[in-house]
């Protein structure tokens, strides 16, 4: 029996899903698979696990598992459910990529979908679970899709074994045909239960004109108007990324200041300044060892996984939530005259940011009532669209945009683009205004623009490369990935491209060539996983980087390889400083900082041969310096590093070290976050190791004498692209322009720029 507090009990009773408890539980008892649809806020995530628990699931040795596509949701929801049930967090727990509080007592386990995928690799039948809930299935994240495909096979297998497993798929929208009407997935159509949410009417107001690009400014003006003119009620604003969220928060706080106690922090800052110079000296002083020139790495000397052994804390793939980081194309500029308007402290606005990577304790603030006499204003990315329900929202301001990463299928070139969202998403956003009383949604675009939106967003799996998924599937011994029951299959070309890359990396066995094949024949060839592939699949990073790790134990390079891989996986170590400033004051600050950061990057790029490692040496240097300084927010802020990214790199380094150690105990690496700069020969090994994972990402400089077209001045040629690609002016190799380079990826902004560039020697190229 669950012992809930009276307040919790009262709040629960107001949730529409409570009226459906019996219907839901009966459907679950009678069917192996059930689909549950209900508006955001109807109580799916917080209540269904409780229904199951009270019905006796999770009683003996088995647990209730719930997957979330976002880490935020896994953490907050486990906390909320523990609180509602009056149970400790070792019983209602969470597990995300880096952390968790799961214990032997755990009965309800929230996790990211990547975590469950990893568990399937260890125990295909998921025998620990009696029930699995796939939450937020409408988001159609790649891992959600794969999990549903796998579970569609696991459920009947478990029935055969006499250990039935229940699968519940929960969605905030009714668009579920990809699951229910897909006979390959579920031959028997699962029942669909709809929960009617008590949704109050929301009046939608379209703009007459659609602002050309300054939608942040337009948001600002709209919020000012709402706050000045409309009755009380919280405001929820949808923007596209962290940088925008912060800049709008700043402007709003300046305009409608809310004063609470302020802590002095001057003393602390001084301390860190002292620490930092010492740290820098220490890093620079530690001289690299001298060694012979241009040694060669042995490409066959990799570590391979002993059969039947896995790694504990692996989460497949890389998340790039909300395209965090690169804000190249965002115009934060300001179009109106509002900056001159008087700030007004008689109308305090309690402004809170909300986005995936925000620290959990800061996220939790949005659930608490604002200080009395203030109005709540949450400035969010699309996390607030469906994963989290913020109480008391009466006004929604929707910029109508979303930031997405786009990939070119053929070349792999990617770009972050802010694009119009879908009609379904815009309606979800509007719905947030009608949870507690009738509300209003202000769309900062015209109704004509809205009618041009696509109806639904494309599932993620159709929009990105899939080599990581294919490798994970091969590791599950799914040989013919084309036959996998995807809810929405990726294109055959994408699948072939993934297999070809994995063959090139040595992760899959190359099939015997038998003349020219059609695309379909090619896709049906069977290429099983190699021992190296198994090792690679055991690392929680993309296959290219996993290959580098597998080669990394040679010549004492492992700690550097781990750091480089961690840095490349986390992405965007540096704050974006090439953005237009908000005002003159910020302009000065930005300029000063940029100068300083450039100087630091020069130091981190090293001297002599170390420079050949290019941007990767800068990464090593930045991580090194950061660790020597004790990794403080102040150090990061002053040097243009993203504190969050640096923290993640530290965690990932620890995790990768554990993974490598369990794989080859003979190496037995001790994780020390502080490291000496690599020696000259190590630099050369590192360049080759990096190339082993990025063998198809090689570019050759166009020499002046080859120049026919000015567009190719200082440009590089890559095998796949017709167009010139460039080294970014911020890169440490921009002044050198080596003849041959290897790059992490190409990001298209104003030009096609290579990111993560390192120089290589032509004789290394096969
Ligand atoms: P759904 O999953 O259907 O979108 P939820 O179960 O997430 O719905 O939310 C149900 C209710 O619980 C909402 O009204 C929401 O405001 C409330 N709620 C959820 N999380 C929290 C929290 N951390 N603090 C306070 N209330 C919460
Ligand atoms: Mg939910």
Query: How much is the average pLDDT of 479-487?
Result: 89
Residue listed under structure tokens 């009226």: 19
219 CA to centre of ligand 2 in angstroms: 27
Q: How far apart are CA 589 and CA 573, in angstroms?
A: 20
pLDDT at 612 over 50: yes
Q: 442 vs 205, 223, 235, CA distance in Å?
A: 5, 10, 10
Report the nearest-CA residue for atom 10 of ligand 1. 43
Higher pLDDT, 309 or 564: 564
Cβ pair 724, 712 in contact under 8 A = yes
Please give the number of the atom of ligand 1 that sits closest to the Cα of 197.
3
Q: 642 vs 94, 366, 567, 636, CA distance in Å?
A: 26, 24, 12, 6
The whole model's pTM is what?
0.76
Report the nearest-CA residue for atom 5 of ligand 1. 43
669 falls in which pLDDT band (50, 70, 90)?
low
Q: How far apart are CA 420 and CA 452, in angstroms?
A: 9
**Residue 95, strand partner residues:** 100, 111
Cα of 508 vs its chain's centroid, Å:
27
448 CA to centre of ligand 2 in angstroms: 31
- CB count within 10 Å of CB 275 equals 16
Q: How far apart are CA 67 and CA 694, in angstroms?
A: 32
Q: Is the ipTM of this complex over 0.95?
A: yes
Pocket test for ligand 1, best of 43, 173, 429 (most atoms within 8 A of CB): 43
- CB count within 10 Å of CB 531 equals 16
DSSP assignment letter at 397: E
171 CA to centre of ligand 1 in angstroms: 15
Ligand nearest to the CA of 234: 1
Q: How far apart are CA 364 and CA 713, in angstroms?
A: 51
| Residue closest to 25 by CA, chosen among 5, 66, 45, 55 | 55
Q: 295 vs 87, 125, 614, CA distance in Å?
A: 59, 47, 18
Write the CB contacts of 475 (distance below 8 Å, at least 6 apart in sequence).
121, 529, 533, 534, 537, 538
pLDDT at 288 over 60: no
pLDDT at residue number 295: 55
503 CA to centre of ligand 1 in angstroms: 46
Token pair belonging to 608: 């002599």
157 CA to centre of ligand 2 in angstroms: 28
755 falls in which pLDDT band (50, 70, 90)?
very high
Query: How much is the average pLDDT of 32-54?
Result: 94
Question: DSSP string spanning 139-175?
Answer: G--HHHHHHHHHHHHHHHHHHHTT---EEEEEESSS-
Ligand nearest to the CA of 81: 1
Report the nearest-CA residue for atom 19 of ligand 1. 389
Higher pLDDT, 130 or 198: 130
Mean of the per-residue pLDDT values of the chain: 84
Number of residues in the chain = 766
Q: How far apart are CA 317 and CA 112, in angstroms?
A: 12
578 CA to centre of ligand 1 in angstroms: 39
pLDDT at residue number 514: 66
Task: Give all strands (DSSP E) within 518-642, no chain letters.
Answer: none
587 falls in which pLDDT band (50, 70, 90)?
confident
Pocket test for ligand 1, best of 14, 41, 49, 108 (most atoms within 8 A of CB): 41
Buried b (16+ CB within 10 A) or exposed e, 294-325: eeebebeebbebeeeebbebbbbbbbbbbbbb
Cβ pair 492, 520 in contact under 8 A = yes
690 CA to centre of ligand 2 in angstroms: 41
pLDDT at residue number 189: 93
3-state secondary structure 92-143: EEEECCCCECCCCCCCEEEEEHHHHHHHHHHCCCCCCEEEEEECCHHHCCHH
pLDDT at residue number 621: 93
DSSP assignment letter at 198: -
pLDDT in tens, 359-399: 777 888 898 999 989 999 999 988 788 777 788 999 999 99
Cβ pair 158, 165 in contact under 8 A = yes
Cα of 583 vs its chain's centroid, Å:
31
Write the CB contacts of 639 (distance below 8 Å, at least 6 apart in sequence).
596, 597, 600, 622, 625, 626
pLDDT at 517 over 90: no
Pocket test for ligand 1, best of 14, 37, 46 (most atoms within 8 A of CB): 46
Pocket test for ligand 1, best of 11, 70, 80 (most atoms within 8 A of CB): 80
Pairing, β 439-443 against β 726-727: unpaired
53 CA to centre of ligand 2 in angstroms: 17
| Residue closest to 744 by CA, chosen among 318, 403, 331 | 318
Token pair belonging to 250: 């700043």
Please give the number of the atom of ligand 1 that sits closest to the Cα of 364.
23
Write the CB contacts of 234 (distance below 8 Å, at least 6 apart in sequence).
370, 375, 376, 377, 378, 390, 391, 392, 393, 394, 395
Token pair belonging to 491: 């294109």
**Residue 398, strand partner residues:** 238, 443
pLDDT in tens, 175-191: 888 899 899 999 999 99
| Residue closest to 456 by CA, chosen among 175, 156, 105 | 175
pLDDT at 119 over 50: yes
Report the nearest-CA residue for atom 14 of ligand 1. 41
Ligand nearest to the CA of 39: 1
202 CA to centre of ligand 1 in angstroms: 19
668 falls in which pLDDT band (50, 70, 90)?
low
Residue 300 in 3-state DSSP?
Answer: coil
Q: How far apart are CA 675 and CA 620, in angstroms?
A: 9
Cβ pair 137, 169 in contact under 8 A = yes
Ligand nearest to the CA of 41: 1
Please give the number of the atom of ligand 1 that sits closest to the Cα of 391.
16
Cβ pair 615, 686 in contact under 8 A = no
Please give the number of the atom of ligand 1 that sits closest to the Cα of 388.
7
Q: List pocket residues of ligand 1, CB cut-off 6 Å.
A: 15, 38, 40-47, 76, 80, 367, 389, 391
Pocket test for ligand 1, best of 42, 385, 389 (most atoms within 8 A of CB): 389
Ligand nearest to the CA of 195: 1
Report the nearest-CA residue for atom 6 of ligand 1. 43
Please give the number of the atom of ligand 1 that sits closest to the Cα of 387.
4
User: Alpha helix (H) ranges present in 441-507?
Assistant: 447-452, 467-475, 492-504
Please give the number of the atom of ligand 1 that sits closest to the Cα of 46.
6
Report the nearest-CA residue for atom 17 of ligand 1. 389
pLDDT in tens, 430-469: 989 988 889 999 999 999 999 999 988 888 898 888 999 9
Q: How far apart are CA 299 and CA 277, in angstroms?
A: 40
Cβ pair 199, 39 in contact under 8 A = yes
746 CA to centre of ligand 2 in angstroms: 36
Report the nearest-CA residue for atom 24 of ligand 1. 367
609 CA to centre of ligand 1 in angstroms: 56
pLDDT at 200 over 80: yes
Task: Give all strands (DSSP E) within 227-269, no chain letters.
Answer: 234-238
pLDDT at residue number 97: 76
pLDDT at 339 over 60: no
34 CA to centre of ligand 1 in angstroms: 21
319 CA to centre of ligand 2 in angstroms: 20
pLDDT at residue number 299: 62
pLDDT in tens, 45-78: 999 999 999 999 988 789 999 999 988 889 999 9
pLDDT in tens, 138-151: 989 899 999 999 99
Q: 324 vs 404, 418, 643, 729, CA distance in Å?
A: 10, 12, 13, 22
Cα of 648 vs its chain's centroid, Å:
12
722 falls in which pLDDT band (50, 70, 90)?
confident
Cβ pair 146, 74 in contact under 8 A = no
């Amino acid at each position: 029996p669950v012992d809930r507090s009276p307040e919790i009990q009262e709040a629960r009773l107001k949730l529409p899903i409570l009226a459906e408890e019996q219907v839901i539980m009966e459907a679950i008892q009678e069917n192996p698979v059930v689909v549950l649809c209900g508006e955001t806020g109807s109580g799916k995530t917080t209540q269904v696990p409780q229904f199951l628990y009270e019905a006796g699931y999770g009683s003996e040795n088995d647990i209730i598992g719930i997957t979330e596509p976002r880490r935020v949701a896994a953490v907050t929801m486990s906390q909320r459910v523990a609180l509602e049930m009056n149970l400790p967090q070792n019983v209602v727990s969470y597990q995300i990529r880096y952390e968790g509080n799961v214990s032997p007592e755990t009965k309800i386990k929230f996790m990211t979908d990547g975590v469950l995928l990893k568990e399937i690799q260890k125990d295909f039948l998921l025998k620990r679970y009696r029930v699995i809930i796939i939450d937020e299935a409408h988001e159609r994240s790649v891992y959600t899709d794969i999990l549903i495909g796998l579970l569609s096979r696991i459920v009947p297998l478990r029935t055969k074994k006499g250990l039935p497993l229940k699968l519940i798929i929960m969605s905030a929208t009714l668009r579920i045909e990809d699951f229910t009407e897909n006979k390959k997935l579920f031959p028997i159509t699962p029942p669909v239960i709809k929960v009617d949410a008590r949704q109050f009417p929301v009046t939608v107001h379209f703009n007459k004109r659609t602002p050309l690009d300054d939608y942040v400014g337009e948001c600002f003006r709209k919020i000012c108007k709402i706050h000045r003119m409309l009755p009380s009620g919280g405001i929820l604003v949808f923007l596209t990324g962290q940088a925008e969220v912060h800049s709008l928060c700043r402007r709003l706080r300046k305009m409608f200041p809310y004063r609470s106690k302020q802590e002095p922090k001057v003393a602390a800052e001084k301390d860190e300044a002292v620490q930092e110079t010492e740290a820098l000296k220490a890093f620079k002083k530690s001289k690299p060892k001298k060694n012979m020139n241009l040694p060669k790495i042995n490409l066959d000397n990799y570590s391979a996984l002993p059969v039947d052994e896995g790694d504990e804390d692996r989460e497949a793939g890389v998340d790039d939530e909300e395209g965090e980081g690169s804000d190249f194309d965002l115009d934060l500029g300001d179009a109106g005259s509002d900056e001159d308007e008087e700030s007004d402290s008689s109308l305090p606005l309690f402004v809170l940011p909300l986005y995936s990577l925000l620290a959990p304790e800061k996220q939790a603030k949005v659930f608490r009532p604002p200080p009395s006499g203030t109005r709540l204003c949450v400035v969010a990315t699309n996390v607030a669209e469906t994963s989290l329900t913020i109480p008391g929202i009466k006004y929604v301001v929707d910029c109508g945009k979303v930031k997405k990463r786009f990939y070119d299928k053929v070349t792999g070139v990617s770009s972050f683009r802010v694009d119009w969202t879908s009609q379904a998403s815009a309606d979800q956003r509007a719905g947030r205004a009608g949870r507690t009383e009738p509300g209003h949604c202000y769309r900062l675009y015209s109704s004509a623009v809205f009618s041009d939106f696509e109806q639904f967003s494309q599932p993620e799996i159709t929009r990105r490369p899939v080599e990581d998924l294919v490798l994970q599937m091969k590791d599950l011994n799914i040989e013919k990935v084309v036959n996998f029951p995807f809810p929405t299959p990726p294109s055959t070309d994408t699948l072939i491209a993934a297999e070809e890359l994995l063959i090139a990396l040595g992760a899959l066995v190359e099939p015997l060539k038998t003349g020219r094949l059609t695309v379909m024949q090619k896709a049906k060839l069977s290429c099983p996983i190699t021992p190296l592939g198994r090792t690679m699949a055991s690392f929680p990073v993309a296959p290219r980087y996993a290959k580098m790790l597998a080669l990394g134990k040679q010549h004492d390079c492992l700690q550097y390889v781990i750091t480089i891989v961690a840095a490349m996986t986390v992405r965007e170590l540096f704050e974006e400083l090439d953005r237009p400033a908000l005002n003159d004051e910020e302009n000065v600050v930005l300029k000063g900082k940029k100068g300083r950061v450039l100087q630091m990057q020069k130091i981190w790029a090293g001297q002599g041969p170390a420079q050949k490692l290019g941007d990767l040496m800068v990464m090593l240097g930045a991580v090194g310096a950061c660790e020597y300084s004790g990794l403080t927010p102040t150090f990061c802020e002053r040097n243009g590093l993203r504190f969050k990214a640096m923290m993640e790199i530290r965690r990932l380094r620890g995790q990768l070290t554990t993974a490598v150690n369990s794989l080859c105990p003979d190496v037995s690496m001790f994780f020390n976050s502080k490291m000496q700069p690599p020696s000259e020969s190590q630099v050369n090994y590192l360049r080759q190791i990096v190339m082993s994972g990025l063998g198809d990402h090689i570019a050759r400089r166009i020499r002046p004498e080859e120049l026919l077209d000015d567009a190719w001045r200082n440009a590089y040629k890559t095998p796949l692209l017709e167009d010139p690609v460039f080294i970014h002016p911020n890169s440490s190799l921009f002044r050198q322009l080596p003849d041959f380079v290897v790059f992490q990826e190409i990001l298209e902004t104003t030009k096609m720029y290579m990111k993560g560039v390192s120089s290589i020697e032509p004789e290394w190229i096969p």
